[in-house]
Amino acid sequence: MFLRQFEYLVAVAEEQHFGRAAERCHVSQPSLSNGIKQLELELGVPIVRRGQRFHGLTAEGWRVAEWARRVIAHRDAMRDELALMHDNLQGNLRMGAMPTCSPVVPMFTQLLRHRHPGVRADIQFIGIEAMKVGLGNFSLDVGITYLNEKDLYKLNSLPIYVERQSLLVPDTEEFRNRTEITWAEAAELPLALLRKSMHERQIVDKAFESVGCEPKPHVECDTSILHLMFHVMSGALMTIIPGHFALVPGTFPGTRALDLVDPVISSQVGLIWAEGDPTMPMAKVMVSVVQELQKSGELQRKLGDFAVVDKVAAPVDA
């Protein structure tokens, strides 16, 4: 049984095609097929549903592929650990992040680049479910998401900041002397919002529902809050943003952010990573980056009262 055979199997499971899997592994298709056949013989179970075309994996095959991912991930982690010991860490730190934390992520990647020049940050802006799957199958090293989500009990977490909602409005006379606005007032304004299918919109809808209101947005999109902000910059509509977006200097000219109150909606955001002993090296590196920003006060300097400064986790294993 060889690691290469596990790599073949994982490639087939993910590509769902022998030819593409062989190309991904840089081998011929017969070599890949023979490698998987040898694995079947050694384990004594069928792995691939055979036919003239690829028909998928058997139940046993999916379970073997799961273990194969673990074995490969731990092999890679061992290499990373040894490189880290010699201050020569290379490769990709694979991060899943929710779109609303995009103004915060550059703080982490900047320090990561300074401390580990050989590490490349590979960032995917995805939802919490995809994040949990990625951490579970070792295709992600860490995630940044809401810590009040369900089913995070099997993951380690480190609080980073608190997200509070603001209303982004045109910087006109109507709003110039205001610093806050109620959800009930906001519901009566012309709004641009994310689609109802997005988690961030669901938070907003619950807030409106709590005050007995149902907004009727003029524009909806399912891509990013940034696109909604352009509508505000044009002076036509208003949108709801996480308050820390307004801390990015000079980004949204002609607008101002008002705190949304009655009620104030807060969600804790933090770093998550898979449980395990020892901690996977790339996750360990990202945890140490966040901890350093917290301890140095840089996180609070950049995020003000949004930053979590009193819950710095104990250092991960060295």
**Where does the pLDDT of residue 286 fall: very low under 50, low under 70, confident under 90, or very high at 90 and above?**
very high
What's the rounded Cα separation, in Å, for the pair 96 and 271?
10
Judge if 169 and 30 occupy the same domain: no
Judge if 157 and 272 occupy the same domain: yes
What's the rounded Cα separation, in Å, for the pair 131 and 140?
8
- The answer to whether 164 touches 210, Cβ cutoff 8 Å, is no
Q: Which of 286, 260, 290 is nearest to 273 (CA)?
A: 286
Judge if 155 and 272 occupy the same domain: yes
Judge if 175 and 228 occupy the same domain: yes
Per the structure, how many domains does the chain have?
A: 3
Query: In which element (H, E) is residue 159 found?
Result: strand 155-170
Name the residue with tokens 């650990």.
81
What residue numbers bound the domain in which 31 lies? 3-81
What's the rounded Cα separation, in Å, for the pair 264 and 243?
11
Average pLDDT estimate for 27-31: 92
Last residue of a domain, one of 24, 59, 81: 81
Least trusted range by pLDDT, from 6-20, 35-49, 208-222, 303-317: 303-317
The answer to whether residue 316 sits within a structural domain is: no
Judge if 149 and 236 occupy the same domain: no
Judge if 226 and 282 occupy the same domain: no
What's the rounded Cα separation, in Å, for the pair 266 and 268?
7
The pLDDT score that the predictor gives to residue 151 is 72
The answer to whether residue 315 sits within a structural domain is: no
pLDDT tens readout for residues 301-315: 989 889 986 544 444
Structure tokens, 31:
């070599």
Q: What share of the chain is helix, strand, coil (3-state, %, to 5)?
A: 45, 20, 35
The answer to whether residue 237 sits within a structural domain is: yes
pLDDT tens readout for residues 105-144: 999 999 999 999 999 999 998 888 899 999 988 899 999 9
**Where does the pLDDT of residue 67 fall: very low under 50, low under 70, confident under 90, or very high at 90 and above?**
confident
Judge if 151 and 274 occupy the same domain: yes
Judge if 16 and 61 occupy the same domain: yes
The pLDDT score that the predictor gives to residue 318 is 37
What's the rounded Cα separation, in Å, for the pair 316 and 114?
20
The answer to whether residue 202 sits within a structural domain is: yes
Judge if 171 and 261 occupy the same domain: yes
Could you tell me how many residues make up the chain? 318
